[in-house]
Structure 1
Amino acid sequence: MNYLERVRQIKKSSKKGDYILYWMQGAFRVEYNHSLEFAKYLALSKDLPLKVLVVVDFNYKDANYRHFKFFIDGILELIDKFKDLKISFHVKIGSFKEIVPQYSKNADTLITDKAYIKWLKDVRNEIYNKNDITIYEVDTNLMVPVQAASPKCEYGAYTIRPKIHKLKEKFLNDFVVFDYKGRSYEVENDLNGLNIDDKLKSVHYLKPVDFIGGESKADKLLRDFLNEKYLFFAEKRGDPSLDVESNLSFYLHFGFISPIKILKEAIKIDTDPKNYETLFEQLVVRRELAHNFTYYCDNISDLFSFLPNWAVKTVIEHKDDIRKYLYKLEDLENFKTHDKFWNAAQYELIHKGKIHNYMRMYWGKKVIEWTESFEDAYKILIYLNDKYALDGRDPNGYAGIAWCFGMHDRAFQERKIFGKVRYMSENGLKQKFDMDGYLSRVMG
């Protein structure tokens, strides 16, 4: 493990404690978890027991029943995994700011997973500042750690790509497993014996989707993808009439699987190198560009604070352009527009918790065209994605939506409403793809 670049010491204290505490907050898995291995390493080197803590906060920002059900499925599965490792595992219901300090009080060192979104960084910093303990953060959910890849918000994929490729061998192979067996094993599980539905009464109900959370489900999905779709991934992944996507974005969001594991398994498959190149581009370059964006952006809710200057200028110049169609949030949320392809994309989002990647771009572009301002469109898209997408509230989602407004993109030929921001048309969809096939696949 490359400790200097994946692990960062946040705070140093002379305080001694009875155990090493790993606050598992972003990487809910046992395999390819650098945070867990670093915690095991410290437990071995200090000859102290290790405790792993998961906090289930039912007031988690913008999370609803759909998100919590998927998350809790995965957490419950971890109990047996930590039992096999003889590592104490505590699942506590409450707020981060209350539970983590309680556990830190008697701990020697606190280790946690790196956060990439401002509000989560703020929660961590508040906890760090109020507790006298040595603290480490570990960047385990990216192949190349966000700060190692770049010290600033990158302009686009073409600027971050060479930086990532330069470091890929180093970080793809930096993982070390430490042989730690706990001297005493204990489980404290606040979810045990609870009717989860009763506990979630205070949470907004949104029907769960077919996907089930957890590390083992992520592993099965990866195997299915590699066996059934990967051989023609480069050629067909962009076609919305086909289901050639991996569907692993949910599992990456919750940290149920590591991008390193996906890459290491994919590289074993004897296939056209273009498939691996396409996977690497999407899983590493584009995904880590998104994390770079949210990590270094001060305020992702303020559209004009982060868009490139050319996009801001062109949007302002066209802010009074007449829209042929105007829809309110209620119409959009309930897929009541004149555009059957857009309606199908919104239907897919609501009922499957995702939109096919190509249709997701079209979905975003049309909301811009059908609302009174870019700012309104941005708020609507964030709301819909965070509410319905199983991988909502994620750097990938925020960057994908920001792209619709010109972020990480270039200027195009000027037109009404969009100015020089890239435009997508219904005719373009029909020329490229079997859109009736998409409607049939999504709507049944």
Structure 2
Amino acid sequence: MNYLERVTCVKKSSKKGYYILYWMQGAFRVEYNHSLEFAKYLAINKNLPLKVLVVVDFNYKDANYRHFKFFIDGILELVEKFNDLKISFHVKVGPFTEILPQYLNDANTLITDKAYIKWLKDVRNKIYKNNDVNIYEVDTNLVVPVQVASSKCEYGAYTIRPKINKLKEKILNDFVFFDYRDNNFVLENDLDSLIIDEKLKSVHYIKTVDFKGGESEADKLLRDFLNEKYDNFAEKRGDPAFDFESNLSFYLHFGFISPIKILKEALKIETNPENYETLFEQLVVRRELAHNFTYYTDDIHNLYTFLPEWSKNTLKTHEKDKREYIYTLNELEGCKTHDKFWNAAQYELINKGKIHNYMRMYWGKKVIEWSESLKSAYENLIFLNDKYALDGRDSNGYAGIAWCFGMHDRAFKEREIFGKIRYMSENGLKRKFDMNRYLMRVGA
């Protein structure tokens, strides 16, 4: 196999078992899914049937109606896909720690997708500890597996970039497909319409947005991006007046699409090489720096456990500086600040499930400026992001917020409140961009 660097043996067992179990937990797709292919490979080589399991846990940390609806759309599509593939597919509703043991009692081997955030790693480790079975994790949601790229938390993009570039060609072409079918396959889906309606009523309601979950929707968005936006991607992606972003971050978060597929499809398009370089920088270098951050950080909710020393020192020095404006969480959430551009960014987050990337940085910086303490600023940003962003609770989101406080960045000229942390201003927005066009575009 070409991609064994993606596979980590977590636990060995002498237990025989009757089937291979793939717990699909982070890569909810059939294309470019190294975990699924590794599971098929083991099923063929051990001459055992394969079962694929999805557990829908309505107690999932910080998830709400918006997230679950998007997620379930994609899972219902997978039922049809696995029916066509003739592979047993089971969708079960309940806590991870209760459903998994039911399937592991008779399993020979467990394969699952690698997790990059501590609480998800803790869930896995609890399951691993309490079940006697062979266990493998497969890193299929990154181009370069997180532990292959680096064995430590990287300082910034400039330190991880050469490590990724050294490996990218080899790993970008490591995918192997295995032809596995089971004439006795079984489909079990607990997500019938009654259960969905009942369960969704039990989670916090946040209205849905225009995006629909699933692998097919991700493919459609990718085609639209490559056909309509890609030619101007390098030039216009950073301008909030225009929508030249791919909008694939949600689909990457839920594993509905592989970053490898995005890159391979982009390589087929004849365009200025700068567009591919920009795409690679955002999709691989910056995104995988974010996953490196959460993977090697034990407590992402405590700023002072991970910020670089210069950042910690300068923020502490200026924490008591006088603020012209201070806003409560309710005022921020309700778009009730004096800054119409910040309000528009928050409005975009609430109504579209995302903020344009440049405005997202501005959004974070201003909350630092308008908060009584760094702790409250950080907590409020995470709360708003995780509640409204369709890809909330993601490594990218946590790293992006941490960047506002100096993570993965450098020192700048010292000023009030921010110290040496990078500053962003309303005048800077108006000088660089047509901000009235941004207001019109997001409907604020």
Q: Post-superposition, which runs of at least 4 consecutive aligned residues in structure 1 deviate over 3 A?
A: 1-4
| 1:407-422 alignment runs, 5 A limit | 407-422=407-422
Q: What is the TM-score of this pair, normalised by structure 2?
A: 0.99
Q: Is the 8 A contact 2:12 2:133 kept in 1?
A: yes
Matched residue type, 2:107: A
Q: Which residue of 2 aligns with 1:295?
A: 295
Matched residue type, 1:46: K
| 1:83-94 alignment runs, 5 A limit | 83-94=83-94
Distance in 2, Cα, partners of 1:441 & 1:194? 38
Distance in 1, Cα, partners of 2:21 & 2:294? 27
Q: Is the 8 A contact 2:52 2:89 kept in 1?
A: yes
After superposition, the C-alpha distances for 1:128-148 in whole angstroms (9 at most, x for unaligned) are 000000000000000000000
Q: Is the 8 A contact 1:155 1:408 kept in 2?
A: yes
Shift of 1:90: 0.2
Q: Which residue of 1 aligns with 2:231?
A: 231
- C-alpha RMSD of matched pairs (Å): 0.7
Q: Is the 8 A contact 1:49 1:183 kept in 2?
A: no
Distance in 2, Cα, partners of 1:332 & 1:197? 31
| 1:64-79 alignment runs, 5 A limit | 64-79=64-79
Q: Is the 8 A contact 2:51 2:88 kept in 1?
A: yes
After superposition, the C-alpha distances for 1:135-170 in whole angstroms (9 at most, x for unaligned) are 000000000000000000000000000000000011
Matched residue type, 2:221: L
Q: Which residue of 2 aligns with 1:157?
A: 157
Q: Which residue of 1 aligns with 2:322?
A: 322
Shift of 1:195: 5.1
Q: Which residue of 1 aligns with 2:145?
A: 145
After superposition, the C-alpha distances for 1:91-135 in whole angstroms (9 at most, x for unaligned) are 000010010111011011000000000000000000000000000
Matched residue type, 1:225: F
| 1:12-411 alignment runs, 5 A limit | 12-194=12-194, 196-411=196-411
Matched residue type, 1:31: E
Structure 1 stretches of 5 or more lacking a match?
A: none
Q: Which residue of 1 aligns with 2:10?
A: 10
Shift of 1:197: 2.6
Q: Is the 8 A contact 2:3 2:174 kept in 1?
A: no
Distance in 1, Cα, partners of 2:437 & 2:213? 29
Distance in 2, Cα, partners of 1:367 & 1:29? 36
Shift of 1:325: 0.3
Matched residue type, 2:24: M
Matched residue type, 2:44: L
Distance in 2, Cα, partners of 1:273 & 1:300? 36
Secondary structure of the residue aligned to 1:112 is strand
Matched residue type, 1:161: R
Q: Is the 8 A contact 1:240 1:438 kept in 2?
A: yes
Secondary structure of the residue aligned to 1:293 is helix
Q: What is the TM-score of this pair, normalised by structure 1?
A: 0.99
Distance in 1, Cα, partners of 2:194 & 2:106? 28
Matched residue type, 2:116: Y
Distance in 1, Cα, partners of 2:362 & 2:197? 36
Q: Which residue of 1 aligns with 2:433?
A: 433
Distance in 2, Cα, partners of 1:435 & 1:26? 37
Q: Is the 8 A contact 1:154 1:289 kept in 2?
A: yes
After superposition, the C-alpha distances for 1:15-61 in whole angstroms (9 at most, x for unaligned) are 01111000000000000000000000000000111000000000000
Matched residue type, 2:13: S
Shift of 1:367: 0.2
Matched residue type, 1:355: I
Q: Is the 8 A contact 2:27 2:140 kept in 1?
A: yes
Matched residue type, 2:249: S
Give the % identical residues: 79
Shift of 1:193: 4.0
Q: Is the 8 A contact 1:43 1:50 kept in 2?
A: yes
Matched residue type, 2:93: I
After superposition, the C-alpha distances for 1:244-287 in whole angstroms (9 at most, x for unaligned) are 00000000000000000000000000000000000000000000
* Matched residue count: 444
Shift of 1:183: 3.1
Q: Is the 8 A contact 1:307 1:407 kept in 2?
A: yes
Secondary structure of the residue aligned to 1:246 is coil
Distance in 1, Cα, partners of 2:384 & 2:434? 26
Distance in 2, Cα, partners of 1:319 & 1:43? 57
Secondary structure of the residue aligned to 2:136 is strand
Matched residue type, 1:247: N
Q: Structure 1 residues 204-213 or 187-196, which shifts more? A: 187-196
Distance in 2, Cα, partners of 1:203 & 1:385? 17
